[in-house]
Structure 1
C-alpha cells in the first residue's frame, strides 16, 4: 500500500499536483505557523527570499519569506527595563502614569524593530559571530570582573540574579545576536572620516563671529477690531488643546501632625536616671591638654633637600627645648613659623581629641606633662611639641545632665506617640482601604477633603509633590483605595484616597469665548507686528541704513560686535536667525528679524562676518575636534544605515498587543 502510494506520488506530475494542493492550503492555514504576527507577537519584520527580492507579499511564495518577530514577553521585558531606567534617572519626579503612554510604548517597540531588522540584514549579508568573539566580549563586561579580570563565579551570580535568570548558554546567544546586529552599523560609524578641507570649513563656520546692528521695534498697538462668530468657532476648532479643562482629582485625607499631638507627660526621676545610666559614656567631660608648639613650615611639593633641612632644624630646636632651664615660649617666638601662635610663645590653649591633625594629636596625647617631643611631621611641616598641663576627663553628674536628659526623653516620647498613632492608623486603613472614616474615628482624627485640584495647583497638602504623585496615580484612581502614609515633613504624614477623578476634557465654547477672542486678537497683533517688521527688513535689504530705518519708527540702534555663533545672545532664537542669513556682499546687505518673548520684534543687520581661523588651533586641538567631527558624522551615517535597512523590509505591528 505504502509502496503504491510512493510510486504514484513520484515524478514531475506528482510535484505539480502537490504544488496545486498547497495553494488553497496557504490561504486557510493559521498564519502564525508561517511567521505571521500571531497572538504572541507585537511586531514582525519580513524580507522576501534572497532568490526573489521583488516577490509580492500576497504571492503564495510568501511562506518562504524570512522573518523575525518581536514577542509580547520580549517587548514587555524591554519596556520594564526602560521603566526602571527612567525611574532611576528621574528619582522622585518619575510618574508611572505619564510613562504608560502609547508614544513611549511605540518608541521602545521601534528600537526592538530596528534590532530585528539589523539582525535579519546581517544574516542575509552572511555576518557570522564566532564563539571566540562572544567569549572575548563577555570577558570585557565590568559586571563580570573582579579587580579588572573576568571572574567565572561573578559571571554565574550575575546571570542568576537577572530577571528572568539566564543560563550562560542563553546569555552567550544574546551576546551573539547583539554583536551580529551591531557589527555593520558599527563598521559604518567607525569608517567616517573628515578631510582637511571639510575640517577647515567646519572650523570656519563653527568659529564664525558676526558684527551686528540691532533695533528693538516699538510694541504694536492692541487689536480692537471686532471678531465674528465664524472666526471664533474656526479658531476654537483649530486649537482644541488651548481650551481644555485639565485633569483634576478630589481627595479625602487623614493628617497626622506630631506638633498638634498632646504634649507627653514629663518623664519621672526613675526614667531619667535609667536613661542616664544607659548613656553614661555620653556624659563625660573630654580629656584636655594644655599645649604649645614650634612649627618649621615646609611648602607643599618641596624637594627632598628642603624636607631634610626643615627636619634638621626642628631636631635642633627640640634638643634646645629639652635642655634644662630652656624657655620654650622664647624659642617659639624666635623660631616658629606659625603666625597664629608664634607671638604667644607657641601657646595652643587647651586641646581636645579631634581638634588637631592625626599625627599631631597622636603625639600630643601620648606625652606626659612637662614633656617636649619632636620633630613631628604633618602636612604643615615639622612640629616641636610641649605638654604643659593635663586635665583628665570627668564624669558629668546626673544633676548636671538632668535637663538635657529630660529634653531628649520628651522628644523621644513625642516621636513614639507619632509613630504609634501613624502605625495604628495604617493598620486600620489596611483593614478597610475603601474608606478613611472608620480608621480616623477609631484613632480620634478627622477626615478632611480637598479638591478638585489639578497637577499645577498648590493648595493645602496638594502642594506636596508626593501627594500629587499618589493622587494622580492610575492605581489609586482606578481602585479608590487609600495610600500608604505620605511623609510631608518630620513627624508629619498624611493618608489620602481619591474620591473623584475628572479626566482632561474640552471646555465648551460658551465658557471660553472671551479667551478665544483674546487669542484671536493676540494672533492678529503678532501677525501685524511681523508684517511691519518684514516691511522694514525689505527696506534694509534694499540698501537703507539701519539708523534711518530705525529712526523712521522711533527705534534706537545698538551695536553687537563679534557675536559668536551658537551663544544664547540676544536669545537662542535670535542667534539662530542672525547666523541663518547669508553673509553680506557687495551691494547685498544681510538683514532679518526675530521675535522677543513679549511678542515685540527686533531688526538686525549683519555688517561684517569673521570666519573662524583653523590656523589658530594647536595640533592637539585639531586632533580632538577632528575626532569629534568624525564621531558625529559616523553616528549620522550609522543612523542612516539603520533607517535604510528598515525601509527594505516589511514591518507589521499588532497595536492591540501594546
Structure 2
C-alpha cells in the first residue's frame, strides 16, 4: 500500500497538487515563523531583503524579509527600569497611576523600537564588533573596577546581583549588541564639526543687544456689553475643560499610632541587666588624653627656609616648656598660632583616638602624663604637646548605664507592641478586605472617614502623599478593598479603603453660568486690548513717532537701551517678541506688541541692533563653544539618521500587549 502511495505522489502533476495544497497552510501557520508579529511581541521592525529593497510587505515570500522583535518581556523590563528611575528622581511626587499612561508606554516602546532599527541597520551594513572591543568596553566600566583597575571578582558579583542575574557570556552579548547598534549613530555624532564662520554667526546672534523703546498701554475698560445665551452656551461647549469638577474619593481608614498603644510597663532589673550584658561593649568609656599644644603654623607652599625657621622656633618653645616651673599656658597664649585654642592656653580638652591627624595622635598617645614633647610635624605646621592627664578605657557600670538601658527598652517595647498590633490588624483585614469595621473592632480601634476630597484638597491623614497616592490608585478605586498598611511616620500607619469615587466631570452650565459670563467678558476685553494695541503698532509702522502714538494713548515711552537677548525683561515672552521683530532698516524702527502677565498690552519699537562681537571671545571660550555646537549638530544628525531608518523600515506595534 505504501508503495502505491509513493507511486501516485511522484511526477510533476503530484508536485503541483502538493504545492497548491500547501498554500492555505501559509495563512494558518504562526506568523512568527514567517517573519510576522508573534503572540509574545509588543512590536516588530521589518526590512525587505537587501537584494530586493523594493519588495512589498504583502509579498508571499515575506519570510525572506529581515526582522527584529521587541518582546513583551523586554518591554516590561525596560518599563520597570524607567519606573524605578522616575521614582528615584521624583520621590514623593511620583504618581504611579500617571506613569502608567499610554503616552509613557509608547515613549518607552519607541526607544526599544529605535534600538531594534539601529541593530537591524547595523547588521545590514555588515557592522561587526570584535571580542577585544567588547572586553575593552567592559573593563572600562567603573562598577567593575577596584582602585581604577578591572577586577574579575567585582565583575562576577555585579552581574550576579543584577535583576535578573546574568552570566558574563550573557552580559558580553548585551554589550556587543549595544556597541553594534550604537556604532553608526555615535560615529555620526562625533564626526560633526563647526566652522569658524558658524561660531562667529552664533556669537553674533546669541550676544545680540537691541536698543528698544516700550510703551505700557492703559488697561482696557471693563466689558459691559450684554452676554447672550448663545454666547454663554458656545463658550461653555468650547471650554468645558475650564469648568471641570475634579476627581474625588471618600475613604474610611483605621489609624495605628503611638496614641493607640498603652504605655509599656517599666522593665525590671533582670531584663535590663541581660540587655546590659548582651551589649556590654557599647558601655565602655573611650581612652582619652587631656592635652594642650602650641602651634607654629607653616603654609603648605612654604619654602624650605621658612619651614626650617618654624621648626627651630617650635624646638625653642618646647625647650622652654620643659624647663622647671615653666607655664605652658602662658607660652601658648603668647606664641601659639592656633586661634581655636590660643586664648585658652592651648587647651584641647579630652582628645580621643581618631580625632586628630595621625602624627599628632601617634605622638600624644605615646606620651606619659606630665610630659612635654616637640616639635611634632603635621600638615598644619609644628606642634609642642603637653599631656596633662591620661584616661584609660573603662567599663561603665550597670548602675550608670541603667537609665539609658531603660529608655531603649521602653522604645523597643513600644515598637514591638506597634508591630504586633499592626500585624494583627492586617491579618484580620485580609480575611475580609471589603470592610474595615470587624477587624478594627476586634483590635479595639476606630474606623474613621474622610471625604470627599480631591488630589489638590486634602486634610488629615489624606494629606500624606502616600495615602493620597493609594486613595486615587486604580486598584483601590476599582476593587473597593483595603490597602496594605501605609506608613506615614515613625510607628504611625493607616489602612484605608475607598468607599466612594467620583470621576472628573464637567460641572453643569447652570452651576457655572456666572463664571462663563465672566470668562466671555474677559475674552472680549483681551481681544479689544489686542486690537487697540495692533492699531497703534500699525501707526508706528506707517512712520508715526512712537512718542506721539504713546501720547495719544495717554502713556509714556520707556527707553531700554542695550537689551540683551534672552533676558527675562520686561518678561520672557516680551523679550522673545522683541528679538523676533525684523531688524530696522533705513532708520525706520521695527515695531510690535506683547502682552504682560494679566493681559495688559505694551508697544515696542526696535531702533537699533548690535550683534555680538566674536573678537571678544578668548581662544578657550571659542573652542568650548565650537565643541558645544558640534555636539548639538552631532546629536541632531544621529537623531535624523534614526528617523530616516524608521521611514525605510516597516514598524508594527501591538497596542494590546502594552
Q: Give me the TM-score of the superposition, normalised by structure 1.
A: 0.87
2:557 matches 1:594: no
**Kindly tell me: are residues 177 and 362 of structure 1, through their superposed partners in 2, closer, same or farther at Cα, counting changes over 3 Å?**
closer
Cα deviation, residue 104, structure 1: 1.0
**Kindly tell me: are residues 567 and 18 of structure 1, through their superposed partners in 2, closer, same or farther at Cα, counting changes over 3 Å?**
farther
Alignment match, 2:650: 650
Q: Which moved more, 1:38-47 or 1:411-420?
A: 411-420
3-state secondary structure, aligned to 1:527: helix
Q: Deviations over 1:561-614 (max 9, x none)?
A: 333222333332222222111222223312222222222222222233222211
Cα deviation, residue 204, structure 1: 1.0
Structure-2 separation of matches of 1:272 and 1:339: 46
Asked if the contact 1:286–1:352 (Cα under 8 Å) also holds between the matched residues in 2, the reply is no
Cα deviation, residue 202, structure 1: 0.8
Cα deviation, residue 631, structure 1: 0.7
Structure-2 separation of matches of 1:583 and 1:622: 26
Q: Deviations over 1:79-138 (max 9, x none)?
A: 222222222332332222111111111112222222233333333333344444444434
Alignment match, 2:95: 95
2:350 matches 1:348: no
Asked if the contact 1:476–1:498 (Cα under 8 Å) also holds between the matched residues in 2, the reply is yes
Alignment match, 1:335: 335
Structure-1 separation of matches of 2:398 and 2:545: 89
Q: Deviations over 1:617-636 (max 9, x none)?
A: 11111111111101101111
Cα deviation, residue 639, structure 1: 0.9
3-state secondary structure, aligned to 2:43: strand
**Kindly tell me: are residues 526 and 294 of structure 1, through their superposed partners in 2, closer, same or farther at Cα, counting changes over 3 Å?**
same
Structure-1 separation of matches of 2:123 and 2:341: 79
**Kindly tell me: are residues 399 and 605 of structure 1, through their superposed partners in 2, closer, same or farther at Cα, counting changes over 3 Å?**
same
2:376 matches 1:384: no
**Kindly tell me: are residues 332 and 590 of structure 1, through their superposed partners in 2, closer, same or farther at Cα, counting changes over 3 Å?**
same
**Kindly tell me: are residues 147 and 350 of structure 1, through their superposed partners in 2, closer, same or farther at Cα, counting changes over 3 Å?**
closer
Alignment match, 1:613: 613
Structure-2 separation of matches of 1:32 and 1:293: 82
Structure-2 separation of matches of 1:23 and 1:289: 95
Asked if the contact 1:258–1:492 (Cα under 8 Å) also holds between the matched residues in 2, the reply is yes
2:230 matches 1:226: no
Structure-2 separation of matches of 1:179 and 1:653: 25
Q: How many residues align?
A: 653
**Kindly tell me: are residues 641 and 398 of structure 1, through their superposed partners in 2, closer, same or farther at Cα, counting changes over 3 Å?**
closer
Q: Deviations over 1:275-301 (max 9, x none)?
A: 788888888888886654332122343
Q: Deviations over 1:512-560 (max 9, x none)?
A: 3333222222222222222222222223333334433333333333333
**Kindly tell me: are residues 355 and 605 of structure 1, through their superposed partners in 2, closer, same or farther at Cα, counting changes over 3 Å?**
farther
Q: Deviations over 1:383-415 (max 9, x none)?
A: 223345678899989888877776666655555
Asked if the contact 1:209–1:562 (Cα under 8 Å) also holds between the matched residues in 2, the reply is yes
Alignment match, 1:321: 321
3-state secondary structure, aligned to 2:53: coil
Structure-1 separation of matches of 2:283 and 2:61: 90
Asked if the contact 1:357–1:378 (Cα under 8 Å) also holds between the matched residues in 2, the reply is no
Cα deviation, residue 200, structure 1: 0.6
3-state secondary structure, aligned to 1:433: coil
Matches within 5 A, 1:449-488: 449-488=449-488
Structure-2 separation of matches of 1:59 and 1:431: 59
Structure-2 separation of matches of 1:419 and 1:612: 68
**Kindly tell me: are residues 179 and 517 of structure 1, through their superposed partners in 2, closer, same or farther at Cα, counting changes over 3 Å?**
same
Alignment match, 2:108: 108
Q: Give me the TM-score of the superposition, normalised by structure 2.
A: 0.87
Matches within 5 A, 1:487-502: 487-502=487-502
Structure-2 separation of matches of 1:337 and 1:502: 73
Cα deviation, residue 265, structure 1: 5.4
Alignment match, 1:209: 209
Matches within 5 A, 1:340-489: 342=342, 346=345, 348=347, 350-351=349-350, 353=352, 357-358=356-357, 360=360, 363-364=363-364, 366-388=366-388, 414-489=414-489
Alignment match, 1:556: 556
- Among 4, 12, 19, the residue aligned to 1:8: 12
- Aligned-residue CA RMSD (Å): 3.6
Structure-1 separation of matches of 2:288 and 2:8: 113
3-state secondary structure, aligned to 2:223: coil
Cα deviation, residue 251, structure 1: 0.8
Q: Which moved more, 1:624-633 or 1:580-589?
A: 580-589
Alignment match, 1:196: 196
**Kindly tell me: are residues 93 and 58 of structure 1, through their superposed partners in 2, closer, same or farther at Cα, counting changes over 3 Å?**
same
Q: Deviations over 1:451-495 (max 9, x none)?
A: 111111122211111111111122322333322332333343222
Structure-2 separation of matches of 1:462 and 1:34: 54
Matches within 5 A, 1:23-34: 31-34=31-34
Cα deviation, residue 255, structure 1: 1.5
Asked if the contact 2:336–2:346 (Cα under 8 Å) also holds between the matched residues in 1, the reply is no
Q: Which moved more, 1:467-476 or 1:483-492?
A: 483-492
**Kindly tell me: are residues 563 and 254 of structure 1, through their superposed partners in 2, closer, same or farther at Cα, counting changes over 3 Å?**
same
Alignment match, 1:244: 244
**Kindly tell me: are residues 608 and 419 of structure 1, through their superposed partners in 2, closer, same or farther at Cα, counting changes over 3 Å?**
same
Alignment match, 2:579: 579
Structure-2 separation of matches of 1:271 and 1:193: 76
Structure-2 separation of matches of 1:147 and 1:409: 44
**Kindly tell me: are residues 428 and 300 of structure 1, through their superposed partners in 2, closer, same or farther at Cα, counting changes over 3 Å?**
farther
**Kindly tell me: are residues 546 and 415 of structure 1, through their superposed partners in 2, closer, same or farther at Cα, counting changes over 3 Å?**
farther
Alignment match, 2:309: 309
**Kindly tell me: are residues 558 and 367 of structure 1, through their superposed partners in 2, closer, same or farther at Cα, counting changes over 3 Å?**
farther
